[in-house]
Amino acid sequence: MSIIEVRGLKKSFGDLNVLNGIDLDVDEGECIGIIGGSGCGKSVFLRCLELLEVPDAGRIMIDGLEITANDADVDHIRRHMGMVYQRFHLFQHLNVMENLILAPTILLKMDRSTAIAKAEGLLSTVGLLGKKFEYPSVLSGGQQQRIAICRSLMMEPKIMLFDEPTSALDPTMVGEVLAVIRMLTKRRLTMLIVTHEMNFAREVSDRILFFAEGGIYEQGAPDQIFDAPSRPLTVSFINRLKYFHYEIAQREFDLIEMQNEIMLFGEKYGLGSMEINQIQVCCEEYLMVVLERGYGADDRIDIEIDIVYSEAAEQIEIAFGSRGRQYDPLAAVDEENLDDLGLMVLARLPHSHEYEYVDGINRMKFIL
């Protein structure tokens, strides 16, 4: 049964359309991982669920109650949800125990002794019982975030929303917070987790939502999204692909300009000088061979170069498309005729290469 239902959710900030009509059903006990690039609306979506951001259009049902209705008791519906933010938002003037028991004793009218016992149980679970009388200022970021999770759990929520809970932490503290969230998944608590920790999202999620272009661009089981995404932006994001494109329309093109742009591309995305040099050499030698032997003196020059760098696979792909008569520069290359320096470089520099002639275009792909 769906514990969260979203229909036609839209949200804009001035002329910026962030959410362009989201539909989503979340089953009780389901753990949803939400991934996507910065500024794609992931955090805004979570905030809309609690009405911390008021949608411009659409309906949101939380456990059978419409939080977007004009007469909705928003505070009552929010009590079904706990939210953990990037920042911890603990009360600095209260110690850990006081931070934990404040809301349940006031809002749920929980007996103080009951609240203390519950808080001690949660602190013990996350390994922080010994910190119950400490103030937030003396705790590490990871400890404060674990306290923030406990504070949400004190309200006995049916749904937990995590908005990049590790993004403000030192890398050494990320693991301790993720361990607590892993523990919660075993309780089958309904959770929506916005995260940049891809391995973690894959591990704990029942379903992955990839946000792009103002909505849920692609969704599916973790293995589907991470191993076999079907849509272009998802593929690019999962593999962290970086693109470079260059076109050549005349024989006397500006080689120095092309090589400089390749260098800038490589430096921008952290490629080493050796890798950049390999790309430049491969491009230069291929172009020299093709322009000399693949085109006649009066033929129209039409060549495109696409370089794709995959951060995830640490792999560089160089794809050439040259329109004209069929010509594979490496078709007849063997050990006995590698006296041509350009052909030798093209044959030996890449890890692999592929060639095909399709619709009048020579397509050559090199993997470095």
Q: Where are the domains of the chain?
A: 2-238, 240-367
Q: In whole angstroms, what separates CA 5 from the centre of its chain?
A: 24
pLDDT, tens only, 243-301 = 888 888 888 888 888 888 888 888 888 888 888 888 888 888 888 888 888 888 888 88
**pLDDT of the residue at 293:** 81
Which residues does residue 299 pair with via DSSP β-bridges, in sequence order?
none
Least confident of 112-116, 314-318, 351-355: 351-355
DSSP character string of 304-366: EEEEEEETTTTEEEEEEEEESS---TTTT--TTSTT-HHHHHHHHSSSEEEEEEETTEEEEEE
Domains 2-238 and 240-367 share a fold: no
Whose CA is closest to 164, among 105, 129, 211? 211
- Is residue 67 over pLDDT 70? yes
pLDDT, tens only, 346-362 = 667 667 778 888 888 88
Q: What residue type is 47 in one-letter code?
A: R
- Is residue 216 over pLDDT 70? yes
Query: How many Cα atoms within 13 Å fall on the side-chain side of residue 147?
Result: 31
Radius of gyration of the chain from Cα atoms?
Answer: 28
- Is residue 336 over pLDDT 60? no
**Residue 297 Ramachandran class (φ > 0 left, ψ -120 to 50 alpha, else beta):** alpha
**pLDDT of the residue at 112:** 92
CATH architecture designation of domain 240-367: 2-Layer Sandwich (3.30)
Whether the CB-CB separation of 144 and 92 falls below 8 Å is answered with no
DSSP secondary-structure letter at 14? T
- Is residue 65 over pLDDT 70? yes
- Rounded Cα distance, 53 and 43, in Å: 10
Confidence label for 168 from pLDDT (cuts 50, 70 and 90) = low
Average pLDDT value over all residues in the chain: 85
**pLDDT of the residue at 169:** 66
- Global confidence as pTM: 0.71
Q: What is the mean pLDDT of residues 95-106?
A: 90
Pick the CATH number of 2-238 from 2.20.28.270, 3.40.630.30, 1.10.3720.10, 3.40.50.300: 3.40.50.300
**pLDDT of the residue at 108:** 85
Percentage of the chain beyond pLDDT 90 is: 25
Strand, helix or coil for residue 89: coil
- The length of the chain is 368
